[in-house]
């Protein structure tokens, strides 16, 4: 439940921030209506209005008493981010730029496929982790999203998608927390939003089709296992601590062995038939060589039957200093992993013509870390920063 709510209740502070109903789980809404002296079923009614009927206005919620509607108008809000830009890629991928109430901006991407539609949502404005090959990290960090801001991305995307394709809706079947930010560093709001997305009174997304992706915040993965059983993806990207320390700096705090221990604990929670996705962005000459594949086979051995390996050919952005391996190298890496009995997929690049591909989301926000300034200065002083072996 939102902390602000409890505090407000204790202090009776009428000037407290409005109660953001869109981001509240059924349990939180029940607690809220309880405090208003209302019956718990008000939560069910309000969720249906918000998430099934897409209501924007308390006045339309005719099965609530007039007194309750007036109260909600005074102290609750249904505010959502504003659509600033709406880009459509040649391959059908769609990307929205949303402005939040404080002017910060985030991005959300929809990826249509034959048998499903995946919405990639953000959990933070920017990201504090600074993975060396990710555009979001280079932009720095500003703040966590609220649960309402996370849920609103799904609500607004669904609304926009209903307008396309001659009235035929393009339903969102899958949601992935793979946009801007590290979801496990925004733990409670992300869990509250997940609860709304899974709930049949909310968006009814199946727990197997809702994936949280993390760079490896080990204590939070362990805590997650106690709270939910949605699908989990981990951003590994390197088979050794030596290399991972450089690519994914949080590895210096939580090295690979500890990360894989936490994955095992999460797998126990998932039960025998489910697996974890391991993401591995292929960077030419850095982590895509035959010896890297051999090291990865050894690194993941203890999870072999329980992982799906997802290879992501690097998506370039200006000044990244990395290059995407050519298709032959990617296939060779995949074949080697498959020969070692790892279920291995190559994530096809989607939406790169509108900068919507993995690692290309940057939004446009105020950076509190000064990282962006330093990055731009480095680029200016030294030209392109290069990593790995060139000239292959």
**Looking at the annotation, which residues are catalytic?**
107, 358
**Under the criterion CB under 6 A, does residue 68 sit at the interface with ligand SAH?**
no
Window contacting ligand SAH (CB under 6 A); options: 130-138, 150-158, 369-377, 379-387: 130-138
Instruction: Give the one residue of 312, 337, 356, 362 binding ligand SAH; rule: CB under 6 A.
Output: 312
Q: Is 49 in the site for ligand SAH (CB under 6 A)?
A: no
Which DSSP symbol is given to 288?
A: -
- Please choose, out of 18-26, 36-44, 200-208, 209-217, the segment that lies near ligand SAH by the rule CB under 6 A: 209-217
Examine residue 329 and tell whether it contacts ligand SAH (CB under 6 A).
no
User: Whole-angstrom Cα distance, residue 106 to residue 359?
Assistant: 13
The CA-atom distances, in angstroms, between 346 and each of 163, 278, 308, 337, 350 are: 31, 12, 11, 11, 12
Q: Which of 130, 149, 279, 288 binds ligand SAH (CB under 6 A)?
A: 279
Q: Which stretch binds ligand SAH (CB under 6 A): 64-72, 294-302, 310-318, 332-340?
A: 310-318
Choose which of 2, 20, 100, 131 interacts with ligand SAH (CB under 6 A): 131
107 binds ligand SAH (CB under 6 A): no
Give me Rg for the CA atoms of the chain. 22
Burial class (CB in 10 A: 0-12, 13-18, 19+), 241: middle
| Residues of the chain by 3-state class (helix, strand, coil), percent to 5 | 40, 15, 40
User: How many CB atoms are closer than 10 A to CB 128?
Assistant: 17
Tell which positions 140-159 bind ligand SAH, by CB under 6 A: none
State the Cα–Cα distance between residues 371 and 112, nearest whole angstrom: 34
Q: Tell me: does residue 195 bind ligand SAH (CB under 6 A).
A: no
Q: In the set 139, 281, 287, 334, which binds ligand SAH (CB under 6 A)?
A: 281
DSSP 7-28: HHHHHT-TTSPPEEGGG--HHH
CA distance 299 to 313: 20
Q: Which is nearer to ligand SAH, 81 or 313 (CB)?
A: 313
Q: Which residues bind ligand SAH (CB under 6 A)?
A: 131, 133-134, 178, 182, 213-215, 235, 279, 281, 312, 314-315, 358-359
């Amino acid at each position: 439940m939102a902390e602000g709510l409890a505090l407000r209740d204790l202090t009776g502070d009428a000037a407290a921030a409005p109660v953001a109903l869109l981001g509240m789980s059924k349990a939180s809404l029940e607690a809220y209506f309880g405090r208003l002296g209302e019956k718990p079923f008000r939560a069910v009614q309000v969720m249906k209005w918000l998430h099934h009927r897409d209501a924007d206005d308390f006045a339309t919620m005719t099965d609530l008493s007039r007194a309750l509607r007036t109260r909600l108008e005074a102290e609750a809000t249904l505010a959502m981010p504003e659509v600033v830009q709406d880009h459509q890629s040649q391959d059908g991928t769609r990307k929205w730029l949303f402005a939040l109430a404080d002017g910060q901006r985030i991005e959300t991407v929809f990826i249509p496929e034959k048998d499903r539609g995946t919405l990639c949502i953000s959990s933070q404005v920017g990201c504090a982790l600074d993975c060396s090959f990710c555009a979001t990290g280079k932009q720095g960090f500003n703040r966590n999203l609220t649960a309402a801001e996370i849920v609103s991305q799904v609500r607004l995307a669904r609304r926009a998608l209903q307008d396309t394709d001659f009235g035929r809706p393009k339903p969102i079947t899958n949601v992935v927390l793979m946009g801007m930010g590290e979801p496990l560093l925004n733990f409670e709001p992300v869990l509250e939003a997940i609860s709304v997305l899974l709930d049949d009174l909310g968006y009814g997304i199946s727990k197997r089709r809702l994936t949280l992706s993390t760079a490896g915040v080990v204590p939070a993965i362990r805590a997650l296992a106690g709270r939910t059983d949605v699908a989990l993806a981990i951003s590994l990207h390197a088979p050794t601590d030596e290399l991972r320390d450089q690519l994914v700096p949080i590895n210096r705090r939580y090295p690979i062995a500890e990360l894989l221990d936490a994955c095992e604990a999460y797998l126990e929670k998932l039960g025998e038939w489910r697996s974890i996705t391991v993401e591995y962005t292929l960077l030419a000459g850095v982590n895509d060589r035959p010896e890297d594949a051999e090291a990865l086979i050894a690194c993941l051995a203890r999870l072999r039957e329980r992982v799906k390996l997802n290879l992501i050919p690097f998506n370039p952005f200006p000044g990244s200093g990395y290059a995407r391996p050519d298709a032959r190298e990617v296939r060779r890496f995949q074949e080697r992993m498959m020969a070692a009995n790892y279920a291995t997929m190559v994530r096809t690049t989607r939406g790169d013509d509108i900068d919507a591909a993995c690692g290309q989301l940057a939004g446009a926000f105020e950076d509190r870390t000064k990282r962006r300034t330093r990055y731009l200065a480095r680029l200016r002083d030294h030209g392109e920063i290069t990593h790995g072996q060139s000239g292959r």
